[in-house]
Structure 1
Amino acid sequence: MTQALPKRQDVPVENTWDTSLIYATLDDYKAALENFDGATKAFEETYRDQLHRLDQVLDALPVYAALSKEQSYLSSYAYLNLDVDKLNDARAEEANLFDQVYEKAYPRMAFLPTELMAMDESYLDQIGQRQPDYQPYLTELKRQKAHQLSADQEALLNQLRPVFYHPETIYSAAKFEDMVFDDFEVAGKTYANSYVLFENDYEFSHDTDLRRAATDSFYKTLRKYKNVTAQAYLSQIKNEQIEARLRGFDSTIDYLLHQQNVSRDLMDRQIDVIMSDLAPHMRRFVKLVAKQHGLDKITSADLKVGLDSSYNLRITPEESRKLLKDALSVLGEDYGKMIDRAYDERWIDFAQNEGKSTGGYCATLYEGPSYILLSWTGLMNEVLVLAHELGHAGHFQLASKQSILNYDPSLYFIEAPSTANEVLTCNQLLKANADPEFQAYLISELISRTYFHNMVTHLLEAAFQREVYTKLDNNEFLNGDKLCQIKRQVIQDFWGEEFDITEDAGLTWMRQPHYYGGLYPYTYSAGLTIGTVMAQELERNPDETVVKWLETLELGASLSAQELAQHAGVDVTTDQPLRDTIAYVGGLVDRLEALVD
């Protein structure tokens, strides 16, 4: 039998991230929690109902910013440690300590934006004139004023706000604590299965019997938890719908897009144009790969397979450092130093272990480390994941030049730096090795990882979300079976009738935590649209483009997403960047067909 994943305590420490960079010891974390509790209490006692006085606002804003920074450090320490060891009761208790403090601290801080939004805009302008660093934050408050509730209503929502995160907590508990996957057998050999093993390895396996058997095993377990997971998700979107109605929005989608400062047409364009125009290119690509693998039919279990190649070798973490530094060298010496820090200071968690959160992400602490979660397989697709997450790290390291209140840009832009890194990495590697087999292999990886993941997987999530929110606002009945029907139909619409989209494919909605973050999935394709244009410009005109690109990343949330893209030289008010990106993917498929045939 294949080995199950090791326990967290059994993985090499050099493959884990170092959260002692946040707080040196657990006792330091607990002391910081106690101090934060007292500081938020003092903040409320000092400044609540005093913000009509300009001198008090000018004093309060830096304190509020400092408390926001400390809150992010505390939550990061608590949940980064838990995310890599979710079955560890001690880690869960440490996270619970934060939750207990945060439930009291959040409303003690949240009165500040509530009271400021109730002020005349001329008063907010005065504050911005006196403290220019906070001007973008104050501009955002003015934008939110139209949907502001009464002071009492806002206070009540602030008290309840921590409860709104419970649906995601329930989802995570089912996913990481309750789900146990059966072993499965292929050709007389028994294999263990898990979320990490399936999503990071089996799903991409070139062994068709193994891949399909692992898929059957995986979805057999998911199906058992369909209804409880559906109730968690439906609770999430109902919470969003209630707040949307309270704040006077015409639909839940409008409310969620307002949070991103993005119009409905930008989201709809991403979904509709990709569904119609990208689908034919991706169908060609998958058919080409299926032919190379000798598949008799293409099922939903076969969609993520890349070309088989002698170059499909495992890469060590240290080998990935040199590869990525070379590929991203166009971004400059300081960017390279940031990559070295990520390795040397152990910002990256490479380990595969039992109880670790799936997928990958980057969590940057303001003026602190950028923690990157992976489950390292060493395959090229994982190298591209690391390039992606280092893109987030580089972005937020640069954005820390802004105030923490102007730091976190709209979701519409958030995936641009990360996806640009993926495209840039592949393009640089293609230029470095002219061997046709390598070219075919890497183009396949670029399509199947970067474009498939961001412009198909996440885009189909977005199409699913749009349909679910529309049915929600139309008061249509939703449950686990309905969600599966919607998801399967969306997948079938993209791939067409030539592909065998199985019943199990309808369960795919259960795999994504993104649904608990509002309208996040469509922004991957938006970011990749910007990222593709920037990666091409960085190749064509590196000296001028890199300065402009890094300047854009330094702006944080001081501009809207559309303005940030415009500053970088990409006009997303038109559909041209999206259509250019789709044409680029079509060109990649053309190149691949020529190389393989």
Structure 2
Amino acid sequence: MDQRLQRNQVPTEKTWNLVDLFQTRDDFLAELDDLLKMADQLANEKGKLLTNGPSLFHALEEYFDFSARLWRLSAYVSLKQSADSSDPENQADAARVDAASAQIETTLSFFEDEFMDLDEERLNALERETTELAEYRPYFTKLFALKPYRLHPEAEKTIKALSEVLDAPYTIYARSKLADMQFLPVKDGNGKTLPMSFTLYENSYASTQDTELRRKAYDSFTKTLDAYKNTFASVYAAEVAKTVAIAKLRGYRTATEYLLQRQQVSETMYNHQLDIIYKELAPHMQRYAELKRQALGLDRMTYADLLAPIDSTGPQTTFEESKAAILEALKIMGPEYHAIIEEGLNSRWVDYGDNIGKSTGGFCSSPYGIHSYILMTWTGDIRNILTLAHELGHAGHLMLAQKYQKMANYRPSLFFIEAPSTINELILAQYLKKNATSDELKRSVTERLLSTYYHNFVTHLLEGVYQRKVFRLAETGEALTASKLTELFNETLAGFWGDAVQLEDRDGLTWMRQPHYYSGLYSYTYSAGLTVATAVAGQITEEGQPAVDRWLSVLKEGGRLTPQKLIEKAHVDILNPVTIRRAVAYVGTLVDDMQAAAIQ
């Protein structure tokens, strides 16, 4: 039986302040009603958007202002769901907004249709009439790139009308995972019975040094995953089939081409990340696995043991202690950036308590027109401070982008999105090591920094390699059954870990653990972000303020530039495989440091 708190039992200071979005639920419902009415009013502008420069500029301003309001509405119900997906009211509100969003997007689909009717020559002429239109040039550049794949307006309208249905795979996955899954209690090494949940396993038991608890928790975890595998396989297969079908309808060669175009990423950039890291990081991680096996005194290294820390005396940290360290470490980023982080830590942007129904992992939601919201679960391990710094990196980035860019140019490509978050982890780790009062603490920080690379270069990278296999298989028409998906993930694990880890069939059920597969080609972008972050962190160490200023100027661009251009502005050559290899080599030096510490 789950002994965790109900949502209403969590101390207020550990929860985020959704009042900043809507004072009351009635206010939220009133906004929903107002947006539905406004959408009908905006529909009267159909056919009038391109009359002249001023009318186009007015239409763009009105469209994106409305879109920002709808985004904040959707964020409100999504955040409530993430905090407690077991609450029927939260479920009902989310369903209500999904339905309303589908209706609104259908009603207003003509906006993009008419914008698409423009060409470069006509847009240039309208810009000469109204110079403010130049601010929307990056938006039109992206829009025009999609023109060859645009369907008939009625077909586009139909797809938008079906958005609630097309998004159902993720909704079913999330609700099943967070509200329905039940796990058998587990016992620790002292025989004490402990509650078990998805969140407890991911955030605590998987990384405990108590081998008996860690392995028994994995038994309980995988037993429940196994019970849901056919349902989850059907849901994921539906997600993949949807993506493949839409890609074909639009005229793309493959679903991969379709998804990468929306990231403004070439297949070369995509494949380099997967192929180079998968092949060249493996020897370093195999060394690390063997080092862990020896340090922990294990007879064999299993998949359940990979996250166990070597350091048995890893320091514990409170949220308040972590706030102070993060604020001190990030002073290097300058007063404007620092002020954002300080406000986030002191104004309840962060939800860090634990309760039944709360989403696993962590994220930062930054709807345009309001501050960021961060979700994580605090366990006290020093790893938490790096997670917090990571999510604050998203907040700092997107709050700067919001300040300096219109909503149309606000969000950068997924390929870049993890760079500003992971660089904060690297800056904080350097600060913690520099100020460590003992060799033991330095080693502990090094190990936690290695966990950053493990998370991005192993966990999510392997997801990306696996996802590439899934899409290639789906393109052939082969059925994505539970057994096939599990087989593919086991194959991916075996190719990376070799003989360093004794894998079992159930380890392949790992494909069920992450929600990233329902967000297009998202998983691999963690490695891209950390590759860029590693290079920029090195620049900051070597150059100091000039590198910081350059990086801040990149963050302020938001999504105005392509990811390649953003990264080039940071003086990093992402097209050069050497850039990726240097990041992999840096991971090797961290493993070297851990091995040297073990010998001493």
Secondary structure of 1:362's partner?
Answer: strand
Deviation at 1:376, TM superposition (A): 0.8
State the match for 2:336 in structure 1.
Answer: 334
State the match for 1:135 in structure 2.
Answer: 137
Compared CA separation, residues 74 and 396, structure 1 to 2 (3 A): same
Secondary structure of 1:339's partner?
Answer: helix
Deviation at 1:52, TM superposition (A): 3.5
Aligned equivalents of 1:413 and 1:97: distance in 2? Answer: 32
Greater mean deviation of Cα atoms: 524-533 or 298-307: 298-307
Verify: 1:73 aligned to 2:95, yes or no. no
State the match for 1:265 in structure 2.
Answer: 268
Aligned equivalents of 1:315 and 1:233: distance in 2? Answer: 38
Deviation at 1:585, TM superposition (A): 0.8
Verify: 1:119 aligned to 2:118, yes or no. yes
Check the 8 A contact 1:22/1:73 in 2, yes or no.
Answer: yes
Deviation at 1:434, TM superposition (A): 5.8
Q: Where do 1:21-170 residues align within 5 Å? A: 21-46=20-45, 48-54=46-52, 55-129=54-128, 130=130, 131-170=133-172
State the match for 1:518 in structure 2.
Answer: 520
Secondary structure of 1:486's partner?
Answer: helix
Deviation at 1:238, TM superposition (A): 0.6
Letter in 1 for 2:318: T
Compared CA separation, residues 235 and 545, structure 1 to 2 (3 A): same
Check the 8 A contact 2:315/2:441 in 1, yes or no.
Answer: no
Letter in 2 for 1:504: R
Letter in 2 for 1:276: K
Greater mean deviation of Cα atoms: 538-547 or 557-566: 538-547
Compared CA separation, residues 13 and 298, structure 1 to 2 (3 A): same
Secondary structure of 2:162's partner?
Answer: helix
Letter in 2 for 1:356: K
Check the 8 A contact 1:413/1:526 in 2, yes or no.
Answer: yes
Check the 8 A contact 1:367/1:397 in 2, yes or no.
Answer: no
Q: Where do 1:348-387 residues align within 5 Å? A: 348-387=350-389
Aligned equivalents of 2:524 and 2:343: distance in 1? Answer: 31
Aligned equivalents of 1:510 and 1:270: distance in 2? Answer: 23
State the match for 2:461 in structure 1.
Answer: 459
State the match for 1:323 in structure 2.
Answer: 325
Aligned equivalents of 1:75 and 1:157: distance in 2? Answer: 19
Letter in 1 for 2:570: A
Letter in 1 for 2:416: F
Describe the superposition over 1:3-22 as per-residue Cα deviations: whole angstroms up to 9, x where unpaired: 72110111100100000001
Check the 8 A contact 1:40/1:109 in 2, yes or no.
Answer: yes
Check the 8 A contact 1:412/1:527 in 2, yes or no.
Answer: yes
Instruction: Output the aligned Cα RMSD.
Output: 1.4
Letter in 2 for 1:14: E
Deviation at 1:184, TM superposition (A): 2.1
Compared CA separation, residues 382 and 430, structure 1 to 2 (3 A): same
Deviation at 1:375, TM superposition (A): 0.8
Q: Where do 1:210-289 residues align within 5 Å? A: 210-289=213-292
Aligned equivalents of 1:246 and 1:9: distance in 2? Answer: 47
State the match for 1:557 in structure 2.
Answer: 559
Aligned equivalents of 1:499 and 1:20: distance in 2? Answer: 48
Letter in 1 for 2:525: T
Residue in structure 1 matching 2:187, options 185, 198, 207: 185
Describe the superposition over 1:25-78 as per-residue Cα deviations: whole angstroms up to 9, x where unpaired: 1111111111111111111122x1223412432221100010111011101111
Aligned equivalents of 1:218 and 1:369: distance in 2? Answer: 36
Identity %: 38
Letter in 2 for 1:304: L
Deviation at 1:128, TM superposition (A): 4.6
Compared CA separation, residues 128 and 301, structure 1 to 2 (3 A): farther
Check the 8 A contact 2:186/2:213 in 1, yes or no.
Answer: no
Aligned equivalents of 2:491 and 2:586: distance in 1? Answer: 27
Greater mean deviation of Cα atoms: 453-462 or 287-296: 287-296
Q: Which runs of 5+ in 1 are unaligned?
A: none
Aligned equivalents of 2:459 and 2:393: distance in 1? Answer: 20
Deviation at 1:537, TM superposition (A): 1.3
Q: Which runs of 5+ in 2 are unaligned?
A: none
Deviation at 1:127, TM superposition (A): 4.1
State the match for 2:398 in structure 1.
Answer: 396
Secondary structure of 1:328's partner?
Answer: helix
Describe the superposition over 1:106-132 as per-residue Cα deviations: whole angstroms up to 9, x where unpaired: 122232112211333322333455312
Letter in 2 for 1:515: Y
TM-score, length basis structure 1: 0.97
Aligned equivalents of 2:50 and 2:527: distance in 1? Answer: 43
Aligned equivalents of 2:205 and 2:416: distance in 1? Answer: 32
Secondary structure of 2:166's partner?
Answer: helix
TM-score, length basis structure 2: 0.97
Check the 8 A contact 2:353/2:378 in 1, yes or no.
Answer: yes
Letter in 1 for 2:244: Q
Aligned equivalents of 2:427 and 2:109: distance in 1? Answer: 41
Verify: 1:14 aligned to 2:13, yes or no. yes
Describe the superposition over 1:531-566 as per-residue Cα deviations: whole angstroms up to 9, x where unpaired: 111112112222101111011000011100000000
Residue in structure 1 matching 2:416, options 409, 413, 417: 413
Describe the superposition over 1:390-420 as per-residue Cα deviations: whole angstroms up to 9, x where unpaired: 0000010010110101111111000000011
Aligned equivalents of 2:406 and 2:149: distance in 1? Answer: 25
Aligned equivalents of 1:218 and 1:225: distance in 2? Answer: 11
State the match for 2:504 in structure 1.
Answer: 502
Letter in 1 for 2:9: D
Compared CA separation, residues 309 and 125, structure 1 to 2 (3 A): farther
Check the 8 A contact 2:209/2:312 in 1, yes or no.
Answer: no
Letter in 2 for 1:15: K
Greater mean deviation of Cα atoms: 450-459 or 121-130: 121-130
Deviation at 1:365, TM superposition (A): 2.3
Aligned equivalents of 2:153 and 2:123: distance in 1? Answer: 18
Check the 8 A contact 1:537/1:545 in 2, yes or no.
Answer: yes
Compared CA separation, residues 128 and 473, structure 1 to 2 (3 A): farther
Greater mean deviation of Cα atoms: 411-420 or 161-170: 161-170
State the match for 1:533 in structure 2.
Answer: 535
Describe the superposition over 1:470-521 as per-residue Cα deviations: whole angstroms up to 9, x where unpaired: 0000112221110000001101110002311122211001011000000000
Compared CA separation, residues 97 and 478, structure 1 to 2 (3 A): closer
Aligned equivalents of 1:275 and 1:71: distance in 2? Answer: 40
Figure out how many residues of one structure are paired with residues of the other and give that number.
593
Letter in 1 for 2:304: A
Letter in 1 for 2:490: R
Secondary structure of 1:527's partner?
Answer: helix
Deviation at 1:588, TM superposition (A): 1.1
Letter in 1 for 2:134: P
Aligned equivalents of 1:202 and 1:126: distance in 2? Answer: 62
State the match for 1:313 in structure 2.
Answer: 315
Describe the superposition over 1:54-104 as per-residue Cα deviations: whole angstroms up to 9, x where unpaired: 243222110001011101110111111121011111222222332232121
Aligned equivalents of 1:516 and 1:94: distance in 2? Answer: 21
Describe the superposition over 1:199-244 as per-residue Cα deviations: whole angstroms up to 9, x where unpaired: 0000000011110000000110011000110111110111111110
Check the 8 A contact 1:230/1:479 in 2, yes or no.
Answer: yes
Check the 8 A contact 1:118/1:145 in 2, yes or no.
Answer: no
